[in-house]
Structure 1
Amino acid sequence: MGWFLGLVVYALIWWTTLFAVLPLGVRPDAKGDPAVGGWRGTPAQPRILQKAIITTLVSAVIWLGVYLLIESNWISFRDPWLSIPD
């Protein structure tokens, strides 16, 4: 896997992981004051920076697994039983 493909795969994994991490630990604001920009159900403390750090660490571990799987010979589309016949 080249550096560009590795970067693209990491970006896809990062965004997918972010959407999985965003709802963790969210407590909705029961009252919600529209005057200050909050509505009922919006997170009282979203902790975006903490979630971005967690997302980055989890994505790095997942990306490492994907990289090892791609670079190994466990799954290969060049094997005769998976390749397209000539």
Structure 2
Amino acid sequence: MQPVSMIAVYFLFWFLCLFVVLPFGIKTDREMGVEPEPGHAESAPHQFRAIRIILRTTILATFCFGLFYANYVYGWVGIDFLDFLKPESIRNTG
């Protein structure tokens, strides 16, 4: 795999993991016992900790990319694994 492709795939994993990690550990003003300020959304977080979210996202994305790359190198799951999706007539001829 080309290094540029590896970086591109890693960033795809990173942004996917960002949306997975984002809602965890977030508490609203009401959950913290504070009245929200006028004009703020009810669902807005009480304290937004970007560094914590970035760190969690990076760890999860690195783990997921590591699994992806290991599968790419060792071929654990490939086209043959998904052979059950093809009809029987195509499976026997190819």
Give unpaired runs (5+ residues) of structure 2: 84-94
Cα distance between partner residues in 1 of 2:64 and 2:20 = 13
1:43 maps to: 45
* Structure 1 residue runs of 4 or more that deviate by more than 4 Å after TM superposition: none
TM-aligned CA distance change 1:20 to 1:73, over 3 Å: closer
CA distance in 1, matches of 2:43, 2:63: 32
Larger Rg: 2
For residue 11 of structure 2, what is the aligned residue in structure 1?
A: 11
Change (3 A) 1:74 1:41: closer
- Alignment correspondent of 2:37: 33
Q: How big is the alpha-carbon RMSD for the aligned residues of Structure 1 and Structure 2?
A: 2.3
How many residues align? The count is: 80
Deviation sequence 1:40-60 (CA, Å, 0-9, x none):
221001211101011101111
Relative distance call for 1:41 and 1:73 in structure 2 (3 A) is: closer
What is the aligned-residue identity percentage?
28
* Alignment match of 1:56 (pick from 47, 55, 58): 58
Unaligned runs of 5+ in 1: 82-86
Q: How far apart are residue 22 of structure 1 and its match?
A: 0.6
**TM-score if structure 1 supplies the norm length?**
0.77
Structure-2-length-normalised TM-score: 0.71
Cα distance, 1:76 vs structure 2:
4.4
**Is the partner of 1:38 in helix, strand or coil?**
coil
CA shift digits 1:63-86 (9 cap, x unpaired):
011001011133445xxx8xxxxx
